[in-house]
Amino acid sequence: MNPDGYLDAKLGPLCYRVMLECKSSAKPLVRPDVYEAAKYRDQYGAQHCVMLAPSYAGDKESLDEAVNHGVSLWTVDDLVTILELGANAYEFRPLFAPASPPATSPT
């Protein structure tokens, strides 16, 4: 198996890599397997991991597990919002904090 994808932010000495795990579901994800998003971190030399899904149930156990594995939980709407704001790779970095969905503004 391979990761669903990864993103490279080519910022010279500030560069970073983000592992991506994508999920699809018609219902909010309850207890997503956040380990899937983190398992390739070392192999691919990534500093951050993101699980991307249409929506999450937002239960405390899932958030705790995401923090435990260092995974940020993003919805598709979160990604669209950030892209519409025109955030650059430097502005994106703090948005990869574990369990925290992105803020409405990259600044």
pLDDT digits (tens, 9 = 90+) for 77-94: 988 988 898 888 888 888
- Every domain of the chain and the residues it spans: 5-96
Confidence tier at 101 by pLDDT (50, 70, 90): low
pTM of the model as a whole: 0.83
Handedness of CA 30, 42, 1, 7 (dihedral sign): positive
pLDDT at 100: 64
- The fold adopted by the segment(s) 5-96 is Trna Endonuclease; Chain: A, domain 1 (3.40.1350)
Distance separating alpha carbons of residues 85 and 35, to the nearest angstrom: 29
Closest CA to 32 of 5, 69, 3: 69
The reported pLDDT for the residue numbered 63 is 86
More confident site: 38 or 107: 38
Q: How far apart are CA 49 and CA 56, in angstroms?
A: 16
pLDDT digits over 5-62, tens only?
Answer: 999 999 999 999 999 999 988 888 888 888 888 999 999 999 999 999 998 887 888 8
pLDDT of residue 102: 54
pLDDT at residue 104 in the model: 42
d(Cα 69, Cα 72) in Å, to the nearest integer? 9
Cα 56 to Cα 34, 51, 87, distances in angstroms: 12, 10, 23
pLDDT at position 95 over 80: yes
pLDDT of residue 105: 39
